[in-house]
Structure 1
Amino acid sequence: MQDRETDGHRARKRFGQNFLSDPNIIRKIVDAIRPQPGELLVEIGPGLGAMTAPLIERLGHLHVVEIDRDLIARLHERYTPEQITVHAGDALKFDFSSLTAMPDGSPSADREPALRIVGNLPYNISTPILFHLADFADQVKDMTFMLQKEVVMRMVAEPGTEEYGRLSVMLQYRFRMGRMFDVPPGAFRPAPKVMSSIVRMAPLPKDQLGAKDSVLFGQIVTAAFGQRRKTLKNTLRSFMTDSDFEALGIDAGLRGERLSLEQFVAIANHCSARAQN
């Protein structure tokens, strides 16, 4: 028997497909996004179009990134080119900056960030997608996603909590994070085994980022959480000496999850300055 809520489409595990079907939740999410006519907005993984239709209704035109060929065909059948632009392919490989390029293909560096990104992100690859999207923060106004609640809790976690880790530090360094509300499993078809949450990410101005060398900052954060049970003295052995920790007033006997974002920035800048001397 065909399931009306999935319109006969069988959810594919390899794409992490769980289709949003609760009209009240859909309305609540779209209201939270607050799309305005004429805005440049791209939806990642539109699926069966639960959010696509109301977004197009408010925007006029919507960009979507979809990997499933069957769903791409459905989108082309349902919407006109004036309503939707379908970018067929993997969101993990998609160049989101291409949407904000000038007509001649050059980047729009002198303009205010205009791109808005939304989506029910595939839970099986949510972390890689988030890091991929962070690379385009300069072109983005904001991002609103539905993710597994456990992932969202890690994204907004504070130092000293069990959820706090590399994902927390790296995203909070680049974005103002806000957990909005939860979405129960029953809002999907098929229903996942986990609770979901809506999170909003707004890129911070570059002059607020703090780290003189963002690559080094990322390397230090990755090392600090690479072996969570080990202390900073061990995990940052290749970056910091005992005297370096003393100079910064940071206890080398702590573990990475005890450090604040500001302390990670201080370590990175200390290492950067020392390398230049």
Structure 2
Amino acid sequence: MLESIIASPEVVHYVCKRFGIHMSKKLGQNFLIKRGVVDEIVHAADLNAGEPVLEIGPGIGTLTQGLAQSGADVTAIELDRRLLEVLDTTLAAYDNVRIIHGDVLKLDVPDIMNHKQFKVVANLPYYITTPIIMSLLESRLPIERMVMMVQREVALRMVAKPGTKDYGALSVAVQYYTEPDIVMDVPPKAFLPAPSVTSAVIRCVLRKEPPVDVVDEKLFFRVVKAGFEQRRKTFSNTMKTTGLSKEEIEMILEKANIDGQRRGETFSLQEFADVANAWHSIK
């Protein structure tokens, strides 16, 4: 079994039966059973021998095996204690894999990765996709790129452009920190058990510098949050949620040369930055 391709229906069924594993809906566990998808993810990660890579949620090792075979130095964080024994068995042939039990949102990731630059690869549980992505980005970790399996509708939101129905606060945040692109769609039949939705592999290459100049980053994201708080309202009205007076809002929008009757969902990153910088200048 150790030399078998783990990402196959037969092996996944065998491993689950042998170890009495029942996939947890609570933890969003869906194991890959298509080796071709694993290969595409590994290719998108562009891994080199000895390069540090962090995998979030290895499950029974279906994707981990592909990462290990690239020669990369794999650190896999698994929340489900039941799977630790499984991973010790399925990945026993690979001495370049380290399994750590814990919650990636609570662990000291820089310390775990020896304070070196690394890549992130993950088949993320749908229920916690956005918190994990935002935690990795906002923590300013030395990440070079992230290649993640997510729900397709989330991937579309991450790459969405202003004025489209998918464009939102997540779009702005991801595009502020990274250059994202969708690598491929993945049908439900590529997983066991099959989820009820289509997935997508998204690649996010971290930017060395943000695409817009922002004086106060916290203020920038405060403006972004306000812009999407009530999508059907004008930007002038949504800005009232920040506690600013009508006069202050008018002054900021005039300084930023922004029409407050537009909706926030039509704003580019540059326009959000212009509003935030104008707000900062009148404080």
Q: TM-score, normalised by structure 1?
A: 0.89
Residue 31 (str. 1) matches residue 43 (str. 2): yes
The Cα offsets for residues 29-86 of structure 1, whole Å up to 9 and x where unpaired, read as 2222222100010111111111111211212531001001111121123445843221
Kindly state the Cα deviation for residue 244 of structure 1 after the two structures are TM-superposed. Answer: 2.1
Equivalence for 2:219: 216
- SS of residue matched to 2:70: helix
Alpha-carbon distance in 2 for matches of 1:267, 1:22: 46
Aligned residues: 264
- Give the corresponding residue for 2:105: 92
Report the equivalent of 1:5: 12
Q: Which amino acid aligns with 1:94?
A: L
Residue in 2 that maps onto 1:263? 271
Q: Distance in 2 between matches of 1:61 and 1:201?
A: 20
Which residue of the partner structure matches residue 176 of structure 1? 179
Aligned to 1:249: 257
Shift of 1:118: 0.4
2:162 counterpart of 1:159: yes
1:235 CA displacement: 1.1
| Ranges in structure 2 where 5+ consecutive residues have no aligned partner | 1-8
Cα distance in structure 1, aligned partners of 2:70 and 2:215? 41
User: Which residue, out of 96, 109, 127, partners 1:83?
Assistant: 96
More deviation, 59-68/2-11: 2-11
The partner residue of 1:205 within 208, 214, 218 is 208
SS at match of 1:273: helix
- The code of the aligned residue for 1:153 comes to L
Structure 1's 60 and 250: CA in aligned 2 closer, same or farther, altered over 3 A? closer
Equivalences for residues 189-200 of structure 1 within 5 A = 189-200=192-203
Matches within 5 A, 1:57-72: 57-72=69-84
Distance 2:85 2:71 in 1: 22
1:18 aligns with 2:30: yes
- 1:130 is aligned to 2:143: no
CA contact (8 A) 2:61 2:90 kept: no
AA aligned to 2:98 is T
Q: Using the alignment, how far apart are the partners of 2:145 and 2:105 within structure 1? A: 18
Q: Separation in 2 of the partners of 1:19 and 1:209?
A: 39
Partner of 2:151: 148
Percent identity for Structure 1 against Structure 2: 36
Cα 1:95–1:21 change in 2 (3 A) is: same
Question: How far, CA to CA, are the matches of 1:42 and 1:174 in structure 2?
Answer: 19
Tell me if the contact between 1:100 and 1:139 (Cα under 8 Å) persists in the aligned partners: no
Aligned to 1:51: 63
Match of 2:6 in 1: none
Distance 1:120 1:78 in 2: 18
Rate the CA distance shift 1:137–1:180 in 2: closer, same or farther, 3 A: farther
| 8 Å CA contact 1:159, 1:257 repeated in 2 | yes
Give the superposition deviation at 1:145: 0.3
3-state secondary structure, aligned to 1:205: coil
Indicate conservation of the 8 Å contact 1:96/1:136, yes or no: no
Counterpart of 2:178 in structure 1: which amino acid? Answer: F
2:264 maps to a residue whose letter is G
**Contact 1:61–1:82 (8 Å) recurs in 2:** no
How well do the aligned residues superpose, as a CA RMSD in angstroms? Answer: 1.9
Distance 2:274 2:200 in 1: 32
Residue of structure 1 equivalent to 2:5: none
**Alpha carbons 1:97, 1:136 under 8 Å: kept:** no
Distance 1:192 1:154 in 2: 19
Q: Which moved more, 1:50-59 or 1:117-126?
A: 50-59
How far apart, CA to CA, are the structure 1 residues paired with 2:156 and 2:191? 20
